[in-house]
Amino acid sequence: MLNRRQMLKVSAVGALSVFAESLNADDVVPSEHGIPRVDYHVHIGDEISVAQAIKVSQERGIKFGLLQHAGARGHGYAVSNDEELMAWIGSLQGKAVFKGIEAEGTDWRSAFSTTVLAQADYIQSDPLGMPDETGAPMQLWRPDFRCDDPQKFMDRYVDFHVQLISAEPIDILAVPTFLPDNLRANYAQLWTEARMQKVIDAAVKFNVALEMDSRFRVPSLRFLQIAKAAGVKFSFGSNYQTTQGIGDIQYGVNMYKQLGLTLNRFFHPAAATKKPVLVRR
- CA 204 – CA 28 distance, rounded (Å): 23
Does the pLDDT at position 221 exceed 70?
yes
245: domain CATH number is: 3.20.20.140
Q: Supply the pLDDT for residue 276.
A: 97
Burial degree of 133 (CB within 10 A; 0-12, 13-18, 19+): exposed
pLDDT tier at 47, thresholds 50, 70, 90: confident
For 143, the domain range is: 35-279
Residue 190 counted as domain residue: yes
Look at residue 248 and tell me if it is in a domain.
yes
pLDDT value of position 5: 47
Question: Average of pLDDT values for 33-37?
Answer: 97
**Is 82 within a domain?**
yes
Whether residue 219 is preceded by a cis peptide bond, meaning omega within 30 degrees of 0, is yes
Q: What angle do CA 69, 85, 64 make, to 5 degrees?
A: 60
- Domain assignment present for 28: no
Which pLDDT tens digit goes with each residue over 134-182?
888 888 999 999 998 999 999 999 999 999 999 999 999 999 999 999 9
Report the chain's mean pLDDT, rounded to a whole number.
Answer: 91
% of residues, the chain, pLDDT over 90: 83
Over residues 80-93, the pLDDT tens digits come to 999 999 999 999 99
Summarize pLDDT for 180-217 with one digit per residue, the tens. 999 999 999 999 999 999 999 999 999 999 999 999 99
Give domain status of residue 268, yes or no: yes
Tell me the pLDDT band of 19, cut-offs 50, 70 and 90: very low
In a domain, 30, yes or no: no
Instruction: Kindly state whether residue 19 falls inside one of the protein's structural domains.
Output: no
- The per-residue b/e assignment along 96-126, b for 16 or more CB within 10 angstroms, e otherwise, is bbbbbbbbbbbebbebbeeebbbbbbbbbbb
How many domains would you assign to the chain?
Answer: 1
| pLDDT greater than 50 at residue 14 | no
In this structure, of 1-5, 84-88, 100-104, 138-142, the range with the lowest mean pLDDT score is: 1-5
In a domain, 173, yes or no: yes
Instruction: Count Cα neighbours of 220 within 13 Å in the Cβ-side half-sphere.
Output: 16
